[in-house]
Amino acid sequence: MWVIEMNNQVVFAAAGHGKTYSLCSQAKTAIDNTNKHVLLISYTNEGVRSLENEYRKQNGGVLDARVIFKSWYSTLLSEFIKPYQCSLKLKEKRYKQEFPVTLPENFVNSIAFYDTEAPPKWYNQTHVQYYVNKRGDVVPDRTSHLAWLCNEHSSGKVIRRIQEIYSHIFIDELQDYAGWDLEVITLLFKSKIPITCVGDYKQATYRTNNSLKNKQYRDEKVRAYFLMLEAQGLCVTSYANTTRRFNQEICDFINTIHGDADSMVEPDPNNQQEMPVENSGVYMMNVDSLREYCEYYHPIILRYDKKAKVGFQHDCDVFNYGGSKGATYERVVIIPVSTTLPFIERQVKITSNQTRAKFYVACTRAKHSVVFAMENPCENGVFKATDIHFSDKSIPAYKFSKPDSDI
């Protein structure tokens, strides 16, 4: 577990490092040293449930009354927008005319996740209709912008109120934040509250919104935003590069996906298995051999999306790359998407940020072995011919070995 040494900490932690465990452990410590509340935030409702479950494990099955768990959007709505929506200095546009408007109490209801279309282009950032629809629901991609305006137009009352309520704020899945969400996090960094953010920019498979604001910091480039804030003295960034999930061979492979010297993943030396596991590591295998492999090991099969064909018989559970995020399995078989084949076969870098992130997520789910289902695989610069032995069978395969130099 990392240790906070200043108010705002940004930790880029490896897959399987134990980010959720560490956040909850620090929240437990914080709640014992304050009379205020402690806030834990995750992007999705599933992430919130994961935080709650981990906190219960560490706290005898109990959730402390002063530890608050919220999704990011719920935080924006309940802590920023609803208390100070009346402070907004916006205009209402009616045809070609504009009128100053003060939102009445409780005008904003919720967030319009049901509406995927943006408001008409004749509204701009000074118009209430740019942010809120006729039902009083906020446009999802503009929620964080409206939250930021609530603080701006109330002369900082939003942040002052949050300071009165919470002693610490912990934010999970940092890599998924984008657009105006980054500006809201910056506001929190400028407050008196210690903020701890954790995430893995290599696993940036989602975005909190698709706003053009801060578009240069989307996906894995989000790291650059927080390095900029660090240069401004607003936070300290650090790397937690050990994993408790998978072995050295899988570490060696996943480190080639990005080739990022700052975050080469290594197994946690305090979490090594005493006994070796058979057929561990990273392999390519012909699809014709995978039926027998699946019958014996019952791995989880990971595909890019539901359109991807699984070209062999099996009775295994199947998940999408992105949907497996946060999960741990004994062994996985990965159905490579066509744009990842050049990387597997010739070590050509995956150019799409989203594809690379989802591929990285898929490759970091297994504890013991990762198998790529291939059509007519053959030796290449890093995969060498071998045989996998189990029961009374021997199946040809190609095993990854660490390259002598960087890819």
pLDDT above 70 coverage of the chain, percent: 97
The model's pLDDT over 59-76, given as tens digits with 9 standing for 90+, comes to: 999 999 999 999 999 999
- The pLDDT assigned to 112 comes to 93
What one-character-per-residue DSSP string does 72-117 give? Answer: HHHHIIIIIIHHHGGG--EEEEETTEEEEE-PPTT----B-TT--S
- Pair (376, 331) in one structural domain: yes
Over residues 121-129, the mean pLDDT reads 93
Confidence class for position 407, pLDDT limits 50, 70, 90: very low
Contact, 207 vs 44, CB < 8 A?
no
- Pair (221, 319) in one structural domain: no
- The pLDDT assigned to 88 comes to 96
Over residues 16-37, the mean pLDDT reads 94
The model's pLDDT over 320-354, given as tens digits with 9 standing for 90+, comes to: 998 888 899 999 999 999 999 999 999 999 999 99
Beta bridge partners of 331: 369
- Pair (60, 162) in one structural domain: yes
- The pLDDT assigned to 212 comes to 86
pLDDT above 90 coverage of the chain, percent: 81
- Pair (160, 181) in one structural domain: yes
Over residues 97-112, the mean pLDDT reads 92
- Pair (126, 198) in one structural domain: no
- Pair (276, 359) in one structural domain: yes
| Backbone torsions φ then ψ of 385, nearest 5 degrees | -65, 140
Confidence class for position 4, pLDDT limits 50, 70, 90: very low
Q: Over 80: is that where the pLDDT of 275 sits? A: no
- The pLDDT assigned to 39 comes to 98
> What is the number of other CB atoms lying within 10 angstroms of the CB of residue 221?
16
Q: Is residue 3 part of a domain?
A: no
Helices 353-363, 248-258: crossing angle, 10 deg rounding: 180
Number of domains present in the structure of the chain:
3
Tell me which of 144, 168, 191 is where a domain ends. 144
DSSP 132: B
**CA nearest neighbour of 185 among 221, 234, 218:** 234
- Pair (283, 140) in one structural domain: no
Q: Over 60: is that where the pLDDT of 3 sits? A: no
- Pair (355, 264) in one structural domain: yes
Q: Over 90: is that where the pLDDT of 385 sits? A: yes
- The pLDDT assigned to 272 comes to 66
- Pair (234, 201) in one structural domain: yes
Over residues 27-52, the mean pLDDT reads 94
Alpha-carbon radius of gyration of the chain: 24
Tell me which of 196, 211, 240 is where a domain ends. 240
- The pLDDT assigned to 260 comes to 83
Q: Is residue 405 part of a domain?
A: no
Q: Is residue 260 part of a domain?
A: yes
CATH code of the domain in which 178 resides: 3.40.50.300
- Pair (159, 12) in one structural domain: yes
Structural domain span for residue 338: 252-400
Q: Is residue 387 part of a domain?
A: yes
The model's pLDDT over 167-201, given as tens digits with 9 standing for 90+, comes to: 999 999 999 999 999 999 999 999 999 999 999 99
Contact, 219 vs 203, CB < 8 A?
no
Q: How buried is 95 (Cβ within 10 angstroms: 0-12 exposed, 13-18 middle, 19+ buried)? A: exposed
Burial pattern 250-274, b for ≥16 Cβ within 10 A else e, equals bbbbbbbbbeeeebbbebbeeeeee
- Pair (384, 279) in one structural domain: yes
Strands 393-400 and 383-390: antiparallel
Over residues 304-316, the mean pLDDT reads 91
- The pLDDT assigned to 403 comes to 73
Distance of alpha carbon 275 from its chain centroid, rounded?
32
Over residues 371-375, the mean pLDDT reads 96
Q: Is residue 155 part of a domain?
A: yes
What value does the mean pLDDT of the chain take?
A: 92
CATH code of the domain in which 309 resides: 3.40.50
Confidence class for position 30, pLDDT limits 50, 70, 90: very high
Confidence class for position 400, pLDDT limits 50, 70, 90: very high
Tell me which of 240, 266, 299 is where a domain ends. 240
Residue position matching structure tokens 């706290």 = 59
Confidence class for position 244, pLDDT limits 50, 70, 90: very high
- Pair (43, 68) in one structural domain: yes
Residue position matching structure tokens 């903020």 = 195
The model's pLDDT over 196-235, given as tens digits with 9 standing for 90+, comes to: 999 999 998 888 888 889 999 998 899 999 999 999 999 9
Q: Is residue 247 part of a domain?
A: no
**CA nearest neighbour of 219 among 229, 209, 232:** 209
